[in-house]
Structures are given as C-alpha cells and as structure tokens.
Structure 1
C-alpha cells in the first residue's frame, strides 16, 4: 500500500511540506529537533488521525493554528491505481476523513493504511502492560478477520453494561445470566480469533528472530484472560462476589495477554536492551510479513532512529530484512551515512534532509 505523494500542513514545526516518497525505502535525516519524527507522526496521523507521541492533539497542531491536515495519493489495492486520501483534525475535536471523494470512518481508514511503528515505545511490548500487547494482537486480528471489529465492539458494549451493574452492588440473577451469556458468546469468539492469529504469527516471528539474533530462545504464548481449563460461566459465577466488591469484571478477553519468554523467564527481565529491541522489531516485522501473506498487501513502516541501540552488524541485518519485503518504509536517523551502505544498488532508496521543518530530497 505505497504512499505515492504526501502533503503535510500545520503539524508541530512543519508549516507546509509536500514530497513524493519512494515506494520502498525513505531515509529522513537531520539534526535533533529538525522535524524528523514529526514527519513520521504526520504519516501516523494520515493512517490513524492521531500522534504516537502524545494523546493531546493540541500538542500536535502547529502553535497558534486551529487545524492539521495531511493529504496523500495512495495505491490502496496495490494495483497501481492512485486515489486521494485526506485527513484533517481541528482543535475543536472535529475529524474529517475523505477517501476518493467519500467520507469514511476510522476503522475503514485503519484498514486502508496498515501502519507499523517501531520506536523507543515499542519496548512496551515487552516491558509494558498487557493492554499494549492486546493492542498488538488485535492489530493483526483486525487486519485478518473482517468480522473482528464488530465482535470487539459488541463485546465492549456487553462488558460496559456488566460492569455498570456490578458497580450498583447487586445484580438480579436473571439479568446477570442474560448479560453473562452474551459476554461468554463474544469472549469465546474473540479468544478463538486471537489464539489463531498468534499461532499463525509464530513461524514468521521465529524465522525473522533467527535472522536477526541467531539462537536466542524466545517463546510466545497467548493467555486468554481466564483459566480455559474450566467453563467461563462457572468462573464468572465463582468470581461474582469479588467482582461486586471491585465494581468490574475481573476475567475475560479484556485481561488477555501475550507472554514473551526467554528460557522460561520473562523476556523483559532476562534480555539486554539491544536484545529487546531486536525481539520487539522481530514481532513487528513478523506482523508485516503475515499481513502480506494473508492479504497480498504491504504495510507502511515508520521506524524512528533505526541505528540507536543497535550495532552495525544488527543494523545491517535489520535493513536486509526490510529490503527483502514489499513494505514501504520511512526511517529516521541523524546521519544518513549510518544506513546508506546497507542497501543493494537496485533498491529504491530516497534520502530526504529536514531542517527547521523544511524538507529537501538529496539523492
């Protein structure tokens, strides 16, 4: 799904920038504070209407401005046909998403622009909360199972209703049974999809990890959010007293997790910083590989400061893998020479220098 043209207006220190990126590798370089990461944020904004650096939109929009806009032409189907896509968002909260002349919603946008982000926050896949890993899993399920988003929304509605009743301090048994039945129905379907996705992901992850790290032993195990050896209805009934005291449902898909371990120990506790970066990168790269195999479409990778915390050998291996895929990549660095020697002569690599919010293609 290459982005063929990109226009950015009023995002942080970028007043107005337009350029035509390479369909394959784009190196964006410049001094710290020049706007490299802001350009990645702009692509992220195009795909998800938000930043990956802040939850407060007012910090993304250029100071004293009221609205940010990113416009592009994309090859959504990968067939060479370019269609316009524009996303704007104002300080008043209004979001407008237009694709090929029609308004679309956020889920349609996310499907059109499958983004993968690799930056310092990616370490949260190992070190962060289970919610971060659930988002990782659900990205893959969303892009592989068309019915997932409807099921997820339905489950969220049922969970919110059940929690509202729990907060009241008591639930009529008949009413509880009705909501529990719906809860169980959606929980089992969501869990089945998540489990299936992780099983599909494992071979790609293991293959990529072997190339990047060698013989480092890493295992992935999906945790459903409850003891699957017992019926979920029994567990809900057994936990009812505790749930009433807490005011929320303590088991279910909202507690799912992905256990990442090295020789039986949590990878977050056992691995070095460099090893962690390679493991989380392998997870992200595996998602892109699986996505391509299932959909015959490519991802857009946003990679912030690739050379940091990787030595030259592992940086080369990482770049070699990117080169072998069909993904479009936007990669930031301070010194372009740190990456320039890693690409084959026939790889379409474009270099862009950014300085004070102004972008110039150099070679």
Structure 2
C-alpha cells in the first residue's frame, strides 16, 4: 500500500506512537488501518492511488476483538485495481456497514478543521457516524431516505411530475426524514454536554454553543415545506429542504465560530469534538473505538498536547499517533499505560523501546 510493501505490526492495546521522517510511511500505516475499518482511505477517494505500481491489489489483515470479549478473530480487506472490494471476517464475507460497526474509527488530522470551516456535508458525516453507532436502525433510515431523495430529484430534473406521483414520493420522503432527523437530533443532544465538559478543560476562557439544524425550519412540518418549495425545486432540479441539508452550527458569543476563533482555538474545538465523540461512544456501547491521529504535535502546543493525551489515557480507546520526533509524546503517559513505539523508515517498521525500558 503506497510506500509500504510488506509490513507487520504488533500494536499495544492502548497507545501506539509511530515516528519517523516525513514521507517515511507513517500516514500510509494509518491509511491501512482506516482501510481495514471502512474499506477506503481518509486521504483520497482514488483507491488506485493506494495500490503500489505494478501490483494488482492490496491486502490489509488483522486479528481483531471488536466487542472486547477476549476473542480475537481474523479480519481481512482486499482492494483490487479494478475497484472490487472484498471483506472477510471470521471466515465470512461481510458488507460495508457491518465492517464499520466492527471497527469504529475516528480520525484527527489537519482535515479535521473542516468540521468548522468546511461544507455542511462534513458535519453531517460527523453526526451520522454517531447516529450509526448509537442506533442499529439508523443505517436503514439513512439508506431509505437517500434512495427516495435520489428518486425525487430524478423526477424534478425531468421537468414534469404527475401530482399523484409526487405526493407518493413526498410522503415516503417524509416517512424516512422524520425518524432520521430525530436520531440525529438525539445524538447531538447527548454529545453536547460531553463536548462542553472536555472543551472546558482544553479551552477554559471560550464557550462554544452547538446547535443542530435539521435542514428545514423545525417549527414547520416537512410535508408542508416540500409542497411550498415545489416550484422552486422544479426549476432547480433538486430538493432544497430536508435532512440532506442538515448541519451542525458552532457559535461563539452569537457569531460563527469559524470566523470568531483563532487557528489555535479551532484546533482545540475540533479536538474536543473528536474526544467527545469517542467518550460518548464508550458510554453508549461500553466499547472502545480506534483513534488515528496524524502528526499530533503539529496540531497542538505542548501544554494542550499533554492535556489531549491525558484525555486519551483516561479513555479505553486504542490510539495510533504519528509524529516526527517521539520525545514529548513518549513521556506524557503513566508508567502503567500500555505503550508501544514504532520507527517507520522508508516503508519499514521496527519497534523501539519505550522510555524507561
């Protein structure tokens, strides 16, 4: 995969530090873990970029214990150059949704700033990660809604829609949209106090308010909104209201947080969001998640880096953290913490002794 030809890793159950020069393959290793959990990279949608030149496919394999039962089982993900994705768990083929439920992954890197500065679709993905892992019925509602939305938009692009046909599709859209929105709203409501608690430790002098926007005026019935917006939707060729327009709003003293906060403050807000998401997942499921944290020291100053690591240490999560120099990060953990250091050098991985060993 990329610049990792053949690599084997025996990670610690808690903290794994991957260090080496830039371009040595550290991020590629995180990509491999992400591929194992979701069947895709967090850096690119072009899967062919992941496969080394001259190779027809890539394979990532691991022994996993997703439900903390002390029973490790084999999980393998193969991606072919032609695009075929094959996933095998405990000897059986599984789909993408089942794979995602086995490996709850959270990524923290420079792209995480998109939670504040990026498009609403990034924030919907953030919310939907939580909804998916919090309620087993979420994925059925999500898929059903997007299936109906795609059909409604296809009809809108045709320019003419029979009134009875439109009424049927609008009714089905609302039937999926309402419970999907309720699950999203409930997740954000549960996340807010956890986020506020963690942010209060990382950024004591700033208060950030989170507000969920469902994608239409919540005081009005969606069926009525669809009816009133139909002519505009018909001219535009797509549905302008509904869960596909949902968003998560961040405000500081009544202003957009992306405009109000400094770069350093934004780092702490998005870090608190990701930490809160992992903490809430553990409270709701009694399961740990896996953090993939790319170049942590560049994202936080030393004091906040220490605080961030303390939050990770208090959690039950398994973490893979990349850095160029492991100096600070190798010293911030308690002696009892299960810690492993790995040097990554031009695509090869070797384990290093932890401090004090």
Which TM-score band applies after superposition, normalised by the shorter structure?
Answer: over 0.9
CA distance in 1, matches of 2:9, 2:283: 30
* Conserved 8 A contact 1:137-1:198: yes
Which position in structure 2 is the counterpart of 1:102? Answer: 92
Q: Deviations over 1:239-287 (max 9, x none)?
A: 1111000000000000000001111111111111111111111111111
User: How far off its partner does 1:328 sit?
Assistant: 0.1
1:253–1:25 Cα change, 3 Å:
same
TM-aligned CA deviation for residue 111 of structure 1 = 0.2
Alpha carbons 2:110, 2:299 under 8 Å: kept: no
Alignment of 1:135-146 (within 5 A): 135-146=125-136
Kindly tell me the number of residue pairs found equivalent between the two proteins: 353
For residues 283 and 309 of structure 1, what CA distance do their matches in structure 2 show? 14
Q: CA deviation at 1:309?
A: 3.5
Could you give the per-residue CA deviations for residues 183-227 of structure 1, whole angstroms, max 9, x where no partner exists? 111111111000000000011101111111113110100000001
* In structure 2, C-alpha distance between the alignment counterparts of 1:196 and 1:26, rounded to whole Å: 33
Which residue of the other structure, out of 301, 307, 324, is the alignment partner of 2:314? 324
State the match for 1:310 in structure 2. 300
Q: 1:19 is paired with a residue of what secondary structure?
A: coil
Shift of 1:338: 2.6
Q: Distance in 1 between matches of 2:15 and 2:299?
A: 21
Measure the CA separation in 1 of the matches of 2:98 and 2:27: 25
Structure 1 residues 179-328: aligned runs within 5 Å: 179-328=169-318
| Residue 1 of structure 2 corresponds to residue 14 of structure 1 | no
Q: Look up the match of 1:128.
A: 118
Shift of 1:311: 1.3
Contact 2:105-2:291 at 8 Å conserved across structures: yes
- Would the aligned equivalents of 1:305 and 1:331 in 2 still touch at CA under 8 Å? yes
Moved over 3 A (4+): none
TM-score between both structures, scaled by the size of structure 1: 0.96
TM-score (norm 2): 0.98
Aligned to 1:335: 325
Q: Counterpart in 2 of 1:170?
A: 160
| 1:161 pairs with one of 142, 147, 151 | 151
Structure-2 separation of matches of 1:341 and 1:274 = 23
For 2:328, what is the secondary structure of its paired residue?
helix
Q: Provide the secondary structure at the position in 2 that maps to 1:51.
A: coil
* Distance in 1 of aligned mates of 2:26 and 2:94: 29
Stretches of structure 2 that go unaligned for 5 or more consecutive residues are none
Aligned Cα RMSD in Å?
Answer: 0.8
What SS does the aligned partner of 2:220 have?
Answer: coil
Cross-structure match for 1:3: none
**Structure 1 residue 340 displacement after superposition:** 1.6
Asked whether the 8 Å contact 2:296–2:323 carries over to 1, the reply is yes
Q: Is the contact between residue 151 and residue 186 of structure 1 (CA under 8 Å) also seen in structure 2?
A: yes
Distance 1:349 1:265 in 2: 41
Partner of 2:67: 77
Kept in 2, the 8 Å contact 1:273–1:309? The answer is no
Deviations 1:65-91 (A, max 9, x none): 111110000111101111000000000
| Offset of residue 141 of structure 1 | 0.2
The alpha carbon displacement at 1:136 in A equals 0.2
